[in-house]
Every structure is written in structure tokens, then in C-alpha cells.
Amino acid sequence: MLKPGYTNLDPDWLAPLRERVATEVPEVTTWIYVDSVGHLVLSKIVVPRDLRSQGLGTRVMELLIAEADRQAATMTLSPTREFGSGLHRLRAFYRRFGFSVNGGRIKDYTTAQSMIRLPRTHPQP
């Protein structure tokens, strides 16, 4: 039986990533999934208000990005004010990790998410 929120369509690497994030940064609520075209989608990240500015969100993003890059997966997300942070602040936070607005000439029409990050590849030694 699958855990709630998991599907048979999840790639093999997604469950271990979820577990790693939950283990390493248990204070942060994170919802991630892989969409139908293979993008790693950050659906929700909530750092409790009293724990903000301590690097917890940064650590979650480092874990997600490292795995997305290993899997050559594009990451997508749509910042919202729903959990108490301003959109300008959130967009600036995500830009630090290589996200850009999904629009204009570079628009990826395979996703409705408003920000996107292409995987970085590193030469293998």
C-alpha cells in the first residue's frame, strides 16, 4: 500500500528524497511531486514563522536542487502569499537557486507553474 500523497507514477528517487528532506529538516513542511512531463514540482514549503531566517528553507532547497540536478529534472513552482511571506521576497529567494519567471520567450508551456529552473549538469571526473 502506498503512503498518502504517493502514486505509482512516482519515480524511484522521489520517495527517498521526500524522506531525506523530512529527516534532515523536520521543522519544514514540504510537498513535492513529479508531474506528467517529469518536472520536480515544489508545491508547498512552509517554514514556521518563529524559525525563519535560520537557513531551514535554504537547506530544503539545496536538497531538492541537488537531486533534481542528479536526475536531470527541471524544477517548477509558483510562489504564493498563502503562508505569510511576500511574493517579492519569495521570488528573490527562489532566484538565488537559479529559478526564473516562466514566461516570455523562454516560457515552458508544459507547466502552469510561474517559476522554473532547468537542471544544471556537472562534468563527471
Q: What is the DSSP letter of 50?
A: G
Picking from 60, 75, 57, the residue whose alpha carbon sits closest to that of residue 116 is 75
* Residue of 26 and 3 predicted with greater confidence: 26
C-alpha span between 57 and 78 (Å, rounded): 15
The pLDDT tens digits of the residues spanning 13-61 come to 999 999 999 999 999 999 999 998 999 999 999 999 899 999 999 999 9
